[in-house]
Chains A and B, each alone.
Chain A
Amino acid sequence: MIRRLLKDFQGDVIAIPGRLIALVFFLLIFILPAITKDPYILRILIFTNIFVIFAVSWDFLSGYTGQVNFGHALFFGVAAYTAGMLNHYFNLQPWATIPIGAIGAVIIGVLTCFPALRLRGPYLSLVTLAFPLILLAVIKAFPDVTGGEHGISGLTRLSESRVTEYYISVIVMTISVLIMWKLTDAKSGLVRTGIILHAIREDEIAARATGINTINYKILAFAIGGFFAGIAGALYTHVMRIAGPSTLEMTLSFNAVIWCVFGGIVSIYGPVFGVYFLYPLLEGLRVMPEIRFLVFAAIIIAVLLFMPEGIAVWIRDKIERECPRCKLSNVAWRHECRACGASLR
């Protein structure tokens, strides 16, 4: 049993450089508090982890089903406000408010499906853009309940110690990313969703013709994407200790798109890379506040001009090569496939 696991580990992780990098990366962020306990760095990384969940959930919903969602902040904000209000008015603790908030986001996600399922392409993108803005206006119109511009403040902290908060964020992020990665893995023998979502994106009519109920799977994608975005939103409120209108704003929705496209869409690890690159970068640019956003935008443009597929995907294509015969990933510098011996050149 252990031997088989070891063998799988060797074949599926060590042999593929991308996965090896991912493993090293996760180990690094797990041992990071042993190196530094600086509260500022930990705080930035907590937010980075939260936004990783958010960005990956966007990739899951929009990348994998091809329904480009411009209003992903809706799920984030709904969960943030649900968690915040439950904590403020009913004094529920974070272990209860976070799952409830995420479920609230799922319900909203399924509800937005009804108009969204009738639409395709850019129409869908522009309609989804509308929902968080409508909710934002409603929140601003009832400041007594929602706190209006200032939001609900003074919420319970996720945990008293910064390091514990960090570990909560890292563990939740790792589990969420792994679940979404498994759900979208087209080669998985365990779950079929991966290959079905791929089929829907490539050719919806063909997918229907082969007997896939595409409507159900789209609703499922909205529910799962909403769930994880909701977890991110609820975590965010308890770390910030504020449920404010910034969680619903258009900037946040566009940020999800920026992170994903920058890292590489339809890849799950792309957004992880994108957030881990861009969010600390934007924070680091605070040393020159006047030209912070200018530099940020210039970097995005420069990278996308040369790697329009996204930076993580570009790197993967440099270090990995797919065997033309058996479709197994290989290190780019091998001459023949490690399983079937076919020539890779």
Chain B
Amino acid sequence: MFQTLIMPMILQALLTGGVYALLAVGFSLIFGVARMLNLAHTAFFMLAAYGMYYFTYRAGLSPVPAMVVSLILTTGIGAASYKLFIDRIREHHVAVLLVTIALAMVFQEFMLLGFGAHFRESPPLMSGVWQILGVRITYQQLLSLGIMLLVLVTVWLLLSRTKMGIAVRATAQDTEIAGLMGITVPTVLLVTMTIATALAAIAGAVIAPLWTTYPYMWLNPLVMVMVIVVLGGLGSIKGSIIGAFIIAIVETLIVFLVPAGAFLKLAFSLLIMVIVLIVRPEGLYGVAFEEERL
């Protein structure tokens, strides 16, 4: 019971939660700072996973340099697409929505053209298995978990301790006043977009050896990320992380314990979000602004 059910469940929940947390933090950061919903966010997650596959199996690099290259490339693509496409229409909120979803479609189609609609796998960064209490955990799972937690802590420190982080948070609170205090808002927006894309890319690169990579892999995480940020409160980093793990635990429980759970996991997560919002319309950690409530 313990070995076959509970430990795999905990492991699965932690891994899924880590991926969701990384994605949701980035999504939430962009929303908080630029007030826009970046629907292309999880497409960068997909790009990084494909980068891992391409640079290891096709280009022949060993996993660690492949990861570094794919991270840098994906982050570069993210920053460039912000500068080229999103920045100039930032004032038109619905147009941003549409351009980002079109961008995600473009990435997806490029991957389909380049690699076809096949399920791909990437080699693990570390091979080997760790036996604990009779449960087998691969080193790759431990490593992925470790990297994700490390990155989450780093982002937290970056946002709360450094000058840049304070500038980012100030811009999120009030763009105009931040500008008056001498913060270069366009730079902060670009930095935020870069950090957020890098987070998505890290999630994609560390999970690529464990999950399968395919061109439509951005769609489901996109829905989950939206659920999570609403649950945690849009723009709140703490809320996003906690929301990610709540949703991951719910998903894992449904998949393991309920028959036909794979169909229902999305429905249950969405139901939880709806219930939370009916009780607390600003999410778990969101701030209720007077003019935004009514």
A interface list, Cβ under 8 A from B: 68, 115, 118-123, 125-127, 129-131, 133-134, 136-138, 140-141, 204-205, 250, 254, 257-258, 261-262, 265, 290-291, 293-294, 296-298, 300-301, 304-305, 308-309
Interface flags, B242-254, vs A, CB<8A=1, else 0: 0000000000000
* Stretch from B91-99, B126-134, B203-211 contacting the other chain: B91-99
A119 and B106 within 8 A (CB)? no
Which of A118, A138, A205, A250 is within 8 Å of B267, CB to CB? A138
Is B153 on the interface with A (CB-CB < 8 A)? no
Of chain A, the residue at the smallest CB distance from B280 is: A118
Is B145 on the interface with A (CB-CB < 8 A)? no
Of chain B, the residue at the smallest CB distance from A203 is: B291
Distance, CA A120 to CA B85, complexed state (A)? 27
Given A127-B230, A133-B267, A265-B94, A304–B281 Cβ distance below 8 Å?
A: no
Of chain A, the residue at the smallest CB distance from B105 is: A297
Interface flags, B82-118, vs A, CB<8A=1, else 0: 0001001101101101110111011011100100000
The 5 A-B residue pairs whose C-beta atoms are closest, nearest first, are: A137-B267, A130-B270, A294-B109, A308-B92, A297-B105
B interface list, Cβ under 8 A from A: 31, 37, 85, 88-89, 91-92, 94-95, 97-99, 101-103, 105-106, 108-110, 113, 219, 223, 226-227, 229-230, 234, 260, 263-264, 266-267, 270-271, 273-274, 277-278, 281-283, 291-294
Distance, CA A130 to CA B188, complexed state (A)? 32
Beyond the given pairs A133-B267, A137-B263, A261-B94, 5 more chain A to chain B contacts, judged by CB atoms under 8 angstroms and listed by A's residue number, are A125-B37, A250-B219, A258-B101, A294-B105, A301-B103
Interfacial chain A residues near B234, Cβ < 8 Å: 122-123
Given A290-B113, A309-B92, A126–B105 Cβ distance below 8 Å?
A: no
A301 and B102 within 8 A (CB)? yes
Distance, CA A199 to CA B229, complexed state (A)? 30
Interfacial chain B residues near A265, Cβ < 8 Å: 94
Distance, CA A137 to CA B265, complexed state (A)? 9
Which of A118, A291, A296 is within 8 Å of B277, CB to CB? A118
B264 and A137 within 8 A (CB)? yes
B110 and A134 within 8 A (CB)? no
A123 and B281 within 8 A (CB)? yes
Of chain B, the residue at the smallest CB distance from A265 is: B94
Interfacial chain A residues near B99, Cβ < 8 Å: 300-301, 304-305
Interfacial chain B residues near A258, Cβ < 8 Å: 98, 101-102
Helix, strand, loop or mixed for chain A's interface?
helix
B291 and A205 within 8 A (CB)? yes
Distance, CA A330 to CA B145, complexed state (A)? 64
A262 and B98 within 8 A (CB)? yes
Distance, CA A138 to CA B260, complexed state (A)? 11
Distance, CA A41 to CA B136, complexed state (A)? 60
Chosen A-B contacts, 19 in total, with CB atoms closer than 8 Å, are A115-B274, A118-B277, A118-B278, A119-B281, A123-B283, A258-B101, A262-B98, A294-B109, A298-B106, A300-B99, A300-B102, A301-B102, A301-B103, A301-B106, A304-B89, A304-B95, A304-B102, A305-B88, A305-B99
A257 and B292 within 8 A (CB)? no
Interfacial chain A residues near B92, Cβ < 8 Å: 308-309
Which of A130, A140, A304 is within 8 Å of B273, CB to CB? A130
Interfacial chain A residues near B263, Cβ < 8 Å: 137, 140-141
Taking the closest CB of chain A, its distance from the CB of B112, in whole angstroms, is: 8
A126 and B292 within 8 A (CB)? no
Distance, CA A121 to CA B274, complexed state (A)? 15
Distance, CA A185 to CA B27, complexed state (A)? 37
A127 and B274 within 8 A (CB)? yes
Taking the closest CB of chain B, its distance from the CB of A212, in whole angstroms, is: 13
B294 and A134 within 8 A (CB)? no
- Residue among B37, B223, B277, B292 with the most chain A CB within 10 A? B277
Taking the closest CB of chain B, its distance from the CB of A260, in whole angstroms, is: 8
Distance, CA A243 to CA B84, complexed state (A)? 41
Interfacial chain A residues near B88, Cβ < 8 Å: 305
Distance, CA A276 to CA B108, complexed state (A)? 25
Given A133-B266, A301-B85, A301-B103, A294–B110 Cβ distance below 8 Å?
A: yes
A134 and B271 within 8 A (CB)? yes
Taking the closest CB of chain B, its distance from the CB of A129, in whole angstroms, is: 6
Distance, CA A134 to CA B229, complexed state (A)? 18
Distance, CA A16 to CA B277, complexed state (A)? 46
Distance, CA A334 to CA B193, complexed state (A)? 46
Of chain A, the residue at the smallest CB distance from B35 is: A122
Distance, CA A205 to CA B291, complexed state (A)? 9
Given A115-B277, A141-B264, A293–B105 Cβ distance below 8 Å?
A: yes
Taking the closest CB of chain A, its distance from the CB of B127, in whole angstroms, is: 37
Interfacial chain B residues near A129, Cβ < 8 Å: 223, 226
- Residue among A120, A122, A293 with the most chain B CB within 10 A? A122
Interfacial chain B residues near A300, Cβ < 8 Å: 98-99, 102
B293 and A120 within 8 A (CB)? yes
Distance, CA A126 to CA B282, complexed state (A)? 12
A122 and B103 within 8 A (CB)? no
Which of B106, B110, B223 is within 8 Å of A250, CB to CB? B223
- Residue among A118, A123, A133, A305 with the most chain B CB within 10 A? A123
